[in-house]
Structure formats: C-alpha cells, structure tokens
Amino acid sequence: MIPIFFLATLCLGVVPAAPTHDPSLDDEWQEWKTRHGKTYSMDEEGQKRAVWENNRKMIELHNEDYTKGKHGFHLEMNAFGDLTNIEFRQLMTGFQSMGTKEMNVFQEPLLGDVPKSVDWRNLSYVTPVKDQGQCSSCWAFSAVGSLEGQIFRKTGQLISLSEQNLVDCSWSYGNIGCFGGLMEYAFRYVKENRGLDTRVSYPYEARNGPCRYDPKNSAANVTDFVKIPISEDALMKAVATVGPISVGVDSHHHSFRFYKGGMYYEPHCSSSNLDHAVLVVGYGEESDGNKYWMVKNSWGQGWGMNGYIKMARDRNNNCGIATYAIYPTV
C-alpha cells in the first residue's frame, strides 16, 4: 500500500538557483524566524527565504480577494511558511490510501430530525488541540480524538490518550508511524492489544520509537469500529448521535495549510484523493444559511481558529470530508 502523501503533487515556489529577495521584507523575515524558532545553515537560508516570500505573496493575494468577497475565508502566514507543498505534505499529513478490510457500517438512527447544530467541545468530549510536529502521524491524532470522545461518553472521564503508543506499536497492523497510517488500523491495534496508554504515561515524541506499551497505564479499549457511508447526511447523523468522528480530507492546497478563519471552501479540492486525517467535533449553520463542519486539526493551536477549521458542509462533499469517516465502539 502506497501512502497518498508519497504521490507527486504540484509545488508552489520552485526556487531558482540564485534567488533574489525583497529587502523591504528583511525585518519581517527575521521576526518570523524568531517567532517560530527557525534557524538555517548558510546554504539553506536563501532557499527557505525564497519559499517564504512566495508563500507570503500567495497569502497576500488571497486575502486581497477575500476583502473583495471572492473567498469566504482568509489566510495567515504561520510556522509552515518556509516549506514547499511537497515538503509540507511529507512532514505534516500522513493519511494512507483507504483500507480494504470489511468492517461494520453505520446504521442511521431511526429517529426524528437530528439537531441543527452540535458541538461536542461544549459537552467535554474533546481534549485540547494537540500538535503532531514534523511527523506524519495525523492518523494517530484523529483516531485518539474519536476514541477519547467515546471513552468520555462511556465513563464520564475525559482522558488524553497516547498518540505515541499508536505511532510506535501499530506497525504490524498496517501503520508506519511517522510515515503515515490509517485510523481503522489504529482501532484494530487497540482492539487486539486490549488497551491504549494515557498520554501522560506515554508522551508524544514526534518520532518513531520502540513500542513501550504498558497495560498498567491503559485507559481505553476498543470493541470494534464502524465505517460511515460516503454521505454528508450520514456523517451528520453520526456526529449528532455518536460524538466526534475521525475523517480523512484533501489538505494539499495552500489555502488549507495557511487557513486562519472563515468558512473554508476550496473548489479545487478532491473528494477522493485524501492525504490528511482530522476530527469532526460538530456542525452548524451560519446566519447567512451556509452550513459547516467544525473540525479539529493536529497542527497546534497556532494554526487556524485556535487549531480548528470551519469546513463547508453540503457542498458536494468538498475536500472529501465524508469519503472516509470512522469511529470506534468501546
């Protein structure tokens, strides 16, 4: 199985052999490096500066269009500004091509209408936003987020679970640690391992390591996992009745990487080529009638809306948010 992030993608910012820099941006460049703790060798500095300037220009142009009403969301320079798109996807995504093993399929509830809006953060189902660092372990964060919600639903205790436990220990189930993985493989590992350690006992390291699972520190188990049909309506019903749901999305556009706020709709998104795993924690509708998914990312609280993104809902499965949706049972 070939992880999607290894596939070739378009890359903004192909740097010439001798890049020229805008001297008026010198202070801003130095301030950005300081803020994000960036240091480079003499050989790296020029190339990284050129990529940063290209990304900065793209953000500036997008935000100019945003002020003219051409976009429903705005962008912001962040810690990813010195990365090309290929570098970014290799470091910060990691959703593998979808699994093939059979699993249970979500049965839509035989109930009346589900609520018009749901936000599981308000009901203590969701731990604070985490940061996967430069490790393609989004799949572990997404899986842990969904499992944390189900453990809370069962026990009334919100416990932060160990992504590192999954990164280190689930290789034989199909995951490849910081090189990528899939949520169903993570759930299968927890089910057959009969446990997953807490984050406190098995802290995150953003790198591959030996398996150090200790059953004495386990705080979660999985009895099975459920796949949701490819339907935004089915996903909405699952979020409303089950809790936070693990999903895959197409995140390879610069607009996603530098998202800051607003309703994210990317017309060039793919609904089938997914490369990043996130967690749907709710949904709603704005006063102008635009519907959205509230999505928790794993790129730290400095990204997006304190680590979250509001993604367009009922816009023809934009970015594939309903293409691969799954949750564990506990």
CA neighbor of 317 nearest in space, from 307, 327, 325: 325
Rounded CA-CA distance 306/148 in Å is 20
CA neighbor of 82 nearest in space, from 109, 44, 119: 44
CA neighbor of 249 nearest in space, from 202, 207, 296: 296
Catalytic (active site) residue 21: no
Taken in order 185, 86, 265, 50, the sign of the CA dihedral is positive
State the catalytic residue, choosing from 178, 276, 317, 318.
Answer: 276
Contacts of 311 (CB under 8 A, 6+ apart): 249, 263, 264, 265, 292, 293, 295, 318, 319, 321
Residue pair 168/206 in contact by the 8 Å Cβ criterion: no
- Using only C-alpha atoms, the chain has a radius of gyration, in whole angstroms, of 20
Token representation of residue 140: 């572990």
Contacts of 286 (CB under 8 A, 6+ apart): 263, 292
State the catalytic residue, choosing from 54, 78, 297, 318.
Answer: 297
Residue pair 325/293 in contact by the 8 Å Cβ criterion: no
Instruction: Classify 42 as helix, strand or coil.
Output: helix
139-149 in b/e form (b: 16+ CB < 10 A) is bbbbbbbbbbb
Catalytic (active site) residue 276: yes
CB atoms within 10 A of CB 45: 16
State the catalytic residue, choosing from 54, 55, 71, 138.
Answer: 138
| DSSP letter, residue 278 | E
Residue pair 66/265 in contact by the 8 Å Cβ criterion: no
| DSSP letter, residue 73 | E
Residues labelled catalytic: 138, 276, 297
